[in-house]
Structure 1
Amino acid sequence: MPSQSKRFLGRLSSLKAFIIAPLVFLLLLGAVFAYSGLWPPMVVIESKSMQHADESSIGTIDTGDIVVVKKITSTNEVITYLDAVPTGHTTYGALGDVIVYYKSGMSKPIIHRAMCNLVYNTTGGGFDIPALANVPSSMWSVTGDEKRWWNVDGVLELYDIGYQKVTLSIDLTAMLDYMKSPNYGGTPHGGLITMGDYNWYEGADGTYMGKYDQKWISTVKEPVKDEWLVGKARGELPWFGLLKLYATGTAPSYTPRNSVVDLIASIAAIVLLPIILDIILDLMKRRGVHLFGKNKVKDEGSDKRDPPE
């Protein structure tokens, strides 16, 4: 019986790494959910619209990354790119917050950077953009209207935006005309202008031009409303979202090769490290070395009987 008990304990010891790991995972998932306020609390990045290069890097949002999303319900909870110019607030390698939003009719939510917040001016019929009052005058201009931050119409141009230093030309007139048209079915409103960090092109004159959602995505022709907001991105688990993309056959051809290599290396480390650690601890125990207690040294004279009187 003692030998059977020892064998059972030995097997249990060898399996404990595989028992502890799922428990730790569940605890971490619960903590992330409590922080996020959403279920699921994370999204897998399926495109390269937020990358800063063809290869992935920690600190930016790349294809195959998993990003935690913290629930928000108002644009007032978002620090836009323009808001962050005087403060330096940075997320994922550029100024401002990255948000997740979803509008009915979209195939899936979009995760892009909030560039600026427009407030519809019901009196003048244009947009107020208060953040412009706090950025350098050389950073922006208005075409087709007076240069001011309130009741703006025309085209707002922002210069040296993002990691690529693009020019972002936001056609406010087109958005206002769309929302004031008889076919719109609503009233004009303000909201967020959004853009993916990687969404730019080189113009005929060599200028890099930003491709913002409200012009380049057919289902988003107006500023992002409060009710479309899902949350803002917080944190990053690189590479592991590739497991889902490959399992579902949706991994794009432009998936960063270094992400695939890093994923394989990470999985190997997760599987092998607990086993190696358990073997090392077992060997140390056999040699009488105890990390979490005093080493037991046998007293050579402790088993000797006292001589008879």
Structure 2
Amino acid sequence: MSDDSPSEPRTFARDALETVAIVAAVGAVLFAVSGVWPPMVAIESGSMQPTLERGDLVVVTAEGRYGGPAADDYGVVTANESEGYGRLGGPGDVVVYDAPSHPTPIIHRAVFWVEDGENWYDRANESYASGADSCAELLNCPAPHAGYVTRGDNNDYYDQAQGIASPVRPDWVRAKGQFHVPHLGALRLEAQKLF
């Protein structure tokens, strides 16, 4: 037996460093392409069914990347302005946003933009206005500030009409969804339970 063979600890260390280097390289490429970290999110609820199911993994990008033909100044295409453009099974963009009133990020479709003080009841679909008959009966109407009115594809209400969030300010938007991989996010959700 020759003494030139690497020892087990050195081999393990080399293999571990190679693995870390590969993971770091993949992460760097994903970040370069997406412009956000993390570049994927796991769906935690059924609010976007049937488009996105609980446990699906959504690949996301910075809101200004890969916009559609009617993207606004912030790189988001709303469903009402989509002109045939759509992502994730519906018109317009699906955005990931942080609402100050909500403990976790929300991933819902941007439906339309409202200006500060706007009576947006007249532009809202009555089906999603939570039974309101006027702006005075609708939460967040008139709009307390400019932002997006959003809705989960499976929800029969706007997020703003239920008080989930006020109109989503552009600086609350963390990313927008590009495509999804069914069931792959379930691994991440299970891992979250362990930690």
TM-score with structure 1 setting the length: 0.47
Q: Does 1:158 align with 2:125?
A: yes
Deviates more, 1:25-34 or 1:94-103: 25-34
Q: Is the 8 A contact 1:155 1:169 kept in 2?
A: no
1:88 is matched with: 84
- Give distance in 2, aligned partners of 1:101 and 1:75: 17
Q: Is the 8 A contact 1:66 1:241 kept in 2?
A: yes
Q: Does 1:111 align with 2:107?
A: yes
Q: How does 1:21-40 map to 2 (within 5 A)?
A: 26-40=24-38
- Give distance in 2, aligned partners of 1:76 and 1:104: 20
Q: List gaps (5 residues or longer) in structure 2.
A: 6-10, 65-71
Secondary structure class of the residue paired with 2:38: coil
- Give distance in 2, aligned partners of 1:42 and 1:116: 25
Secondary structure class of the residue paired with 1:76: coil
Aligned mate of 1:190, from 146, 156, 178: 146
The aligned amino acid for 2:58 is: V
Q: Does 1:239 align with 2:195?
A: no
Q: Is the 8 A contact 1:66 1:239 kept in 2?
A: yes
The aligned amino acid for 2:129 is: S
Aligned mate of 1:214, from 160, 169, 173: 160
Give CA-to-partner distance per residue, 1:74-97, whole Å, 9 cap, x none: 86311011111xx21021111110
TM-score with structure 2 setting the length: 0.72
- Give distance in 1, aligned partners of 2:20 and 2:55: 22
Q: Is the 8 A contact 2:121 2:141 kept in 1?
A: no
The aligned amino acid for 2:85 is: H
Pair member with larger Rg: 1
- Give distance in 2, aligned partners of 1:50 and 1:77: 21
Give CA-to-partner distance per residue, 1:7-26, whole Å, 9 cap, x none: xxxxx9xxx9xx99876654
Deviates more, 1:73-82 or 1:20-29: 20-29
Secondary structure class of the residue paired with 1:212: coil
2:60 is matched with: 69
- Give distance in 1, aligned partners of 2:157 and 2:19: 43
Cα pair distance change 1:244/1:126, threshold 3 Å: closer
Secondary structure class of the residue paired with 1:245: helix
The structure with the largest helix share of the pair is: 1
Cα pair distance change 1:115/1:78, threshold 3 Å: same
1:126 is matched with: 118
Q: Is the 8 A contact 1:119 1:191 kept in 2?
A: yes
RMSD of the TM alignment (CA)? 3.3
Q: Percent identity at matched positions?
A: 34
Highest relative contact order (Cα 8 Å, sep 6+), 1 or 2?
A: 2
